[in-house]
Each structure stands twice: as C-alpha cells, then as structure tokens.
Amino acid sequence: MALRTIRVEGDPVLNKKCRTVEKMTPRLKELIADMYETMYEYNGVGLAAPQVGVLKRIVVIDLTGDEPITLINPEIIETSGEQTSDEGCLSVPGMAGQVTRPNYVKIRACNEDMEPFEMEGEELLARAFCHEVDHLDGKMYTSLVVGGLHEVQDEPEEEA
C-alpha cells in the first residue's frame, strides 16, 4: 500500500467523467488499498478514484474507521427526503459549505470481486454516496454549495 497524492480543485482530472471498471485486476486491487490508506491518512470518510488521478468508477467509504465500503461502478437507483449540512472534500482542503442532499439513498454497485449488490444509506452515508458518485461524473460539491464556502478549523466529519 502507498499514499496517493490527492488532486485539488482546479485539477482538470476532477472534472472528467470516469470509465466503467470492466474487470478487477491486481493493479485495481492495489489502487483500492492505496485509496483506503490515503483516505485514512487525511481523515476523510470517502474517496473517489479521480481524486487520486485515476479515471475509473471506484469509490471507498468508511464513516467509522472500521466499516469499509468499496463501490465499483456505483449508481444511485433511489433517493428520498432531504438534508442540508456542511460538506467538505479532501480535494478542497480546509473548506466546507452548506449542501442539500437526499436523506436516503439506495445504490447498486459491485464489490472488489465484481459481485453486484445493493446498499441503502441514510444521513451521512447517503451524503457520502452522493458526494462520491458526483466525483465519478466529474462534479464537485462546490457547485452545489448555497451561500459560499467557509474555512473550517478542524476537518468536518462530513468530509468525503
């Protein structure tokens, strides 16, 4: 495993749509392990492959530090409700802004063995699903912020 460099807002790779993963390879498994290590090192709760410069539809999420979720080719298939909260991003260090997201999200994805599954999330997990899938489509949360960004002293728990 190795730490990867996190791309920051303004890097063109963050505005590109990612390619579908057709098959799992040892190199992609190494990428996933590196993404977890990088996310934990920078105290994030989610990281998408384009944030480390790889245009593949791969996301890692871990809200608690001991419940890792790997999503290959994730797609949001259902949403409901609404929540508005501060949101941050490892690609926009030290900043946060108010973003409205669904309060409930159901996704379909594949695991590291390319086995399909569905998963539901509410509140912070729903927010993380939306935030990370947006990254795969070349969208940054900053385009959804209402009222502008503000500096944060400590990284917000919602950082994805």
So which residues are the catalytic ones? 132
State how far the Cα of 44 lies from the Cα of 133, in Å rounded to an integer.
Answer: 16
Residues 63, 147: Cα–Cα separation, whole Å? 26
The single-letter code of the amino acid at 76 is I
Dihedrals φ, ψ of 73, to 5°?
A: 55, 45
Nearest alpha carbon to residue 131 among 102, 108, 151, 93:
102
Do residues 79 and 127 touch, judged by C-beta distance below 8 A?
Answer: no
